[in-house]
């Protein structure tokens, strides 16, 4: 979908400062004693309703120390001007970041002049209400220096920069300024944990920003730096009612090259152009690192043909990868994983597991299909850029092609904030362990979790889709800003897979912290995991998609049905093979 025209309205002022600088514990709301509104398992599967109500929205816009939500307003009455500089402690230079400026009235103020004004919270709302349930205020992005007009009194400036920097805030008492002068304020922010030291690199595979000229590229790189996203994938997209393989027909046009030819970097931050191919009937799919638009020069009805499996194969021939967006919307994804025509699923988005949910994803792995999960923010249709992102494992800093290849192999974890490391007998997510005999074996599990930006309540060890063990994290000050390490000796008596999940609910009962590793797969004598009940359920889901397809009338119907039924036949053959091995 496109943003409404109001995203291009001019921007106005916001933001704050302080005499004392505190850690993120000073910014975050305290944990709630309120019982969750829904079971976390439901929330993990995208239900029952992810739209926030007025009370839940108010929670996100109520600054610390106030009892009601603030608004984004223009300062009136007695005012003063703050000149704010935010420095990276490591370099001593101004650094991009996300900022709130809260006035003495509890309202939020933005700079009148700001190169990144179009992407402030009040400009990108677009009617959406999704995202992690935590305090966001009415933020704006900055390159690290700005002037903002605020009411006189106590003003608070809050600063965030991705998941590896501990948020800071500063409070200052400001009076009226005479003779055009202003108050100068300086805040330092530091990378308190470097995931590069653990060979993990952050990326957001689902961002919509224009790339029409050099200025667009520079603003995109500014935004990547502000949220500390090292690998940013900027996607054009088609109207889901039609598809024409020309950039002039795409929304969010990418006119500065495509695929590897479009990579632009500034320091550790980079952007690349890709596409989201959209259909009302088959879902949406993110196509990454192919060297030109899929079906270039052709016009097709994406709701008829080609199916996504065909689009995925065409993307591979162009050197790229395909990932079902939005959890596949529970549509064609139920056919594509079987034929391995697509490379994975964008599962974590808007703070929950969309489409097929964790249950569907677990079932796919439980019948022996590796199907890596990704996270993508879908900015600007969400709460904030990079609010869901990937950390990809690589022994050395990867280029965009290597980063995407590792993501497609499952060497990653996905997160809304927590940093989550899993080792199974020294193996990383995406690896396969082969056990050579049928005797029970045991594996050493090591899990580490840390969060700089929000609290984590629980850490789960997931084995074959079940929670094998759950740890509760301490809820005092020690919850955030330090590593928590857990060990488990796992007895294995057959093929399975192992993953880790960290999560919490906010005081509203909605999802806040959420992170999940991809799986370490365990084979035994070459055999893959297999659960008969999961295959039956996946067949049921596929049969429903085939039924829906057969009810439609379109010229390519026979081709489309044939593709879906080929997946069904492969599942039946897998089922028969296992039944012949174990007639019981």
In a shared domain, residues 432 and 406: no
In a shared domain, residues 366 and 405: yes
Convert 512-544 to b/e letters by CB count within 10 Å (16 or more is b).
bbbbbbbbbbbbbeebbbbbeebbebbbebbee
What pLDDT score does 127 carry?
A: 55
pLDDT band at 125 (very low <50, low <70, confident <90, very high): low
In a shared domain, residues 442 and 549: no
In a shared domain, residues 503 and 549: no
The mean per-residue pLDDT over the stretch 443-457 comes to 97
Q: Which residue has the higher pLDDT, 198 or 122?
A: 198
Distance CA 537, CA 363 (A): 8
> Residue for token digits 């990079």?
386
The mean per-residue pLDDT over the stretch 29-35 comes to 35
Query: 453: domain range?
Result: 417-530
Q: For the domain that residue 59 is a member of, what is the CATH number?
A: 2.60.40.2190
What pLDDT score does 476 carry?
A: 82
Q: Which residue has the higher pLDDT, 41 or 99?
A: 99
Cis (ω within 30 of 0) for the bond into 173? no
The mean per-residue pLDDT over the stretch 401-427 comes to 98
> Could you read off the pLDDT of 281-303 as tens digits, one per residue?
999 999 999 999 999 999 999 99
The C-alpha R_g of the chain, in whole angstroms, comes to 24
Q: For the domain that residue 218 is a member of, what is the CATH number?
A: 3.20.20.140
Q: What proportion of the chain, given as a percentage, has pLDDT over 90?
A: 81
- Sheet of 153-160, strand order: 21-22, 168-174, 153-160, 97-102, 140-142
Q: Which contacts qualify for 220-224: CB closer than 8 Å, 24 or more apart?
A: 220/271, 221/264, 221/265, 221/266, 221/269, 221/270, 221/271, 222/96, 222/115, 222/116, 222/141, 222/143, 223/96, 223/116, 223/119, 223/141, 223/385, 224/269, 224/270, 224/271
Count of domains for the chain = 4
Please state the separation of Cα 126 from the chain's center in Å. 19
What pLDDT score does 14 carry?
A: 30
- Residue 63: C-alpha distances to residues 58, 498, 506 (Å): 10, 40, 15
pLDDT at 19 over 50: no
Distance CA 265, CA 217 (A): 10
pLDDT at 315 over 50: yes
Which of these three, 155, 189, 223, is where a domain ends? Answer: 189
Which residues contact residue 382 at a Cβ distance below 8 angstroms, ignoring those fewer than 6 apart? 128, 130, 131, 349, 350, 388
pLDDT band at 81 (very low <50, low <70, confident <90, very high): very high
The mean per-residue pLDDT over the stretch 355-377 comes to 97
pLDDT band at 126 (very low <50, low <70, confident <90, very high): low
In a shared domain, residues 273 and 206: yes
pTM for the predicted model, two decimal places: 0.91
In a shared domain, residues 38 and 75: yes
| Lowest mean per-residue pLDDT among 312-326, 444-458, 500-514 | 500-514
pLDDT at 437 over 80: no
- Residue 488: C-alpha distances to residues 224, 398, 466 (Å): 37, 31, 15
Q: Of 439, 465, 463, which is closest to residue 525 (Cα–Cα)?
A: 439
Q: Which residue has the higher pLDDT, 476 or 336?
A: 336
Distance CA 330, CA 324 (A): 10
What pLDDT score does 180 carry?
A: 56
Q: For the domain that residue 497 is a member of, what is the CATH number?
A: 2.60.40.10
According to the 3-state scheme, what is the secondary structure of 518-555? CCEEEEECCECCCCHHHHHHHHHHHHHHHHHHHHCCCC
What pLDDT score does 392 carry?
A: 99
In a shared domain, residues 247 and 389: yes
What pLDDT score does 115 carry?
A: 94
In a shared domain, residues 207 and 264: yes
> Could you read off the pLDDT of 195-254 as tens digits, one per residue?
999 999 999 999 999 999 999 999 999 999 999 999 999 999 999 999 999 999 999 999
What is the pLDDT of the chain when averaged over all its residues? 90
What pLDDT score does 16 carry?
A: 32
Which of these three, 154, 172, 189, is where a domain ends? Answer: 189
What pLDDT score does 50 carry?
A: 66
Three-class DSSP category at 153: strand
Which of these three, 360, 393, 416, is where a domain ends? Answer: 416
In a shared domain, residues 336 and 291: yes
> Could you read off the pLDDT of 392-404 as tens digits, one per residue?
999 999 999 999 9
What pLDDT score does 45 carry?
A: 65
Please state the separation of Cα 529 from the chain's center in Å. 28
- Reading the block at residue 74, the tokens are 């223009």
pLDDT at 15 over 50: no
pLDDT at 56 over 60: yes
In a shared domain, residues 211 and 237: yes
pLDDT band at 20 (very low <50, low <70, confident <90, very high): very low
pLDDT at 42 over 70: no
Q: Which residue has the higher pLDDT, 44 or 340?
A: 340
What pLDDT score does 301 carry?
A: 97
What pLDDT score does 129 carry?
A: 60
In a shared domain, residues 360 and 289: yes
In a shared domain, residues 300 and 237: yes
pLDDT at 25 over 80: no
What pLDDT score does 159 carry?
A: 99
pLDDT band at 28 (very low <50, low <70, confident <90, very high): very low
């Amino acid at each position: 979908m496109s943003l409404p025209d109001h995203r291009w309205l001019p921007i106005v002022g916001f933001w704050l400062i302080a005499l004392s600088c505190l850690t993120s514990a000073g910014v975050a709301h305290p944990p709630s004693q309120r019982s969750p509104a829904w079971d976390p398992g439901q929330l993990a599967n995208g239900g029952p309703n992810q739209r926030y109500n007025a009370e839940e929205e108010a929670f996100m816009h109520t600054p610390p120390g106030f009892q009601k939500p603030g608004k984004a307003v223009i300062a009136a009455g007695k005012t003063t001007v703050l000149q704010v500089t935010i420095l990276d402690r490591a370099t001593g230079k101004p650094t991009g970041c996300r900022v709130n400026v809260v006035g003495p009235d509890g309202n939020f103020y933005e700079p009148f002049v700001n190169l990144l004004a179009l992407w402030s919270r009040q400009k990108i709302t677009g009617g959406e209400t999704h995202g992690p349930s935590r305090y966001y205020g009415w933020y704006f992005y900055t390159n690290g220096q700005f002037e903002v007009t605020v009411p006189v009194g106590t003003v608070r400036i809050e600063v965030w920069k991705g998941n590896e920097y501990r948020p800071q805030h500063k409070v200052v008492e400001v009076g009226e300024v005479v003779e055009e002068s202003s108050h100068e304020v300086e805040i330092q922010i530091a990378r308190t944990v470097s995931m590069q030291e653990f060979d993990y690199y952050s990326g957001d595979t689902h961002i919509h920003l224009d790339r029409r000229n050099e200025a667009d590229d520079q603003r995109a790189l500014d935004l990547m730096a502000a949220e500390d996203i090292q690998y940013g994938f900027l996607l054009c997209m088609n109207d889901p009612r039609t598809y024409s393989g020309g950039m002039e027909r795409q929304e969010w046009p990418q006119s500065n090259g495509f695929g590897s030819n479009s990579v632009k970097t500034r320091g550790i931050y980079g952007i690349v152009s890709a596409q989201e191919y959209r259909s009302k009937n088959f879902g949406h799919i993110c196509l990454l690192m192919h060297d030109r638009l899929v079906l270039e020069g052709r016009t097709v009805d994406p709701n008829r043909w080609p199916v996504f499996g065909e689009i995925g194969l065409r993307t591979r021939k162009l050197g790229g990868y395909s990932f079902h967006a939005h959890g596949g919307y529970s549509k064609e994804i139920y056919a594509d994983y079987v034929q391995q025509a697509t490379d994975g699923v964008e599962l974590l988005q808007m703070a929950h597991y969309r489409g097929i949910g964790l249950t569907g994803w677990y079932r796919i792995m439980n019948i022996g299909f590796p199907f890596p999960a990704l996270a993508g923010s879908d900015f600007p249709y969400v709460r904030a850029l990079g609010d869901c992102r990937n950390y990809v494992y690589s022994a050395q800093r990867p280029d965009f092609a290597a980063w995407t290849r590792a993501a497609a192999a499952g060497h990653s974890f996905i997160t809304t904030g927590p940093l989550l490391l899993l080792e199974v007998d020294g193996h990383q997510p995406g690896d396969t362990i082969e056990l050579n005999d049928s005797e029970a074996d045991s594996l050493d599990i090591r899990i580490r979790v840390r969060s700089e930006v929000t609290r984590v309540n629980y850490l789960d060890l997931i084995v074959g889709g079940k929670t094998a063990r759950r740890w509760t994290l301490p809820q005092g000050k020690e919850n955030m800003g330090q590593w928590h390490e857990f060990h488990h000796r796992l007895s294995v008596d057959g093929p399975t897979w192992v993953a880790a999940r960290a999560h919490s609910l906010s005081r509203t009962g909605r999802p806040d912290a959420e992170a999940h590793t991809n799986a370490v797969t365990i084979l035994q004598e070459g055999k893959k995991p297999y659960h008969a009940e999961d295959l039956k359920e996946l067949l049921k889901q596929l049969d429903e998609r085939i039924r829906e397809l057969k009810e439609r009338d379109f010229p390519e119907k026979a081709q489309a049905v044939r593709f879906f039924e080929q997946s069904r036949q492969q599942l039946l053959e897998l089922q028969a093979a296992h039944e012949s091995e174990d007639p019981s």
